[in-house]
Structure 1
Amino acid sequence: MADSLSPECTPLKQQYDSCFNLWFEGYLEPAILPSAPDPQRTQRKAEEFQEKCGKVYAEYQKCIQSAVKRKGIESLLQQAREEHPLREPLPPTTPPSKESK
């Protein structure tokens, strides 16, 4: 695992990375196990993430935000967000049918 933006945040980053990786492994489990789809699973997994990793994630984010301010790079981050805003993913495309070729 890589170090954080600021050395004092690295222990929190490592805690969060470990927590996330364990949670994500469980999140992916149904993808490899045959089972019926469960529409409430996503909500339960989101709640589980908050319960298990939410506190350390919030602490890590607070540390990073403080480091960004100390390093004076807030304006650079804002500029990057304006130039390249996060967008909704494009819907999946369907492959062309054999008849349309």
Structure 2
Amino acid sequence: MNSLDPKCNELKKSYDSCFNLWFSEKFLKGDSADDMCKPIFMVYQECVRKAIEEQNINLKEIDKEVLGTPNEKTPPPPETK
């Protein structure tokens, strides 16, 4: 699957490869503490965030904490057109 923006596709492939290696070689063998893919993820995440901003999507809505809050089980208000 491609990334949100074609400019991020190579970064996504790199992260996916790293994650798959980490998952099969580390996590499934009980080593969940290793964060070997974090640097790649951070670069990929920044690329995706830039693409989101270019599409005029409000990052504040994306970054909003919901899990573990009362908002988790509250449906969003209906959109007004």
Alignment match of 1:59 (pick from 43, 62, 67) = 43
Q: Distance in 1 between matches of 2:28 and 2:67?
A: 24
Q: Distance in 1 between matches of 2:9 and 2:46?
A: 13
**What residue ranges of structure 1 are gaps of 5+ in the alignment?**
31-40, 89-101
Once the two structures are TM-superposed, the CA of residue 16 in structure 1 deviates from its matched residue by 0.3
TM-score by length of 1: 0.56
- Higher CA-based Rg: 1
Query: Percent identity over the alignment?
Result: 37
Residues 1:4 and 2:3 are matched in the alignment: yes
Report the RMSD for the aligned CA atoms in angstroms.
Answer: 2.5
Q: Helix, strand or coil for the counterpart of 1:12?
A: helix
CA deviation profile, 1:70-89 (whole Å, cap 9, x unmatched): 011126x717x57xx2238x
Q: Helix, strand or coil for the counterpart of 2:2?
A: coil
Alignment match of 2:55 (pick from 71, 78, 81) = 71
TM-score by length of 2: 0.68
Q: Which has the bigger relative contact order, CA under 8 A and spacing at least 6? A: 1
Q: Name the structure with the higher helix share.
A: 1
Q: Distance in 2 between matches of 1:4 and 1:59?
A: 13
**What residue ranges of structure 2 are gaps of 5+ in the alignment?**
70-81
User: Within 5 Å, which residues of 2 pair with 1:23-34?
Assistant: 23-25=22-24, 26-30=26-30
Q: Distance in 2 between matches of 1:62 and 1:6?
A: 12
Residue type of the alignment partner of 2:2 = D
Length, aligned pairs only = 68
Q: Distance in 2 between matches of 1:74 and 1:12?
A: 23
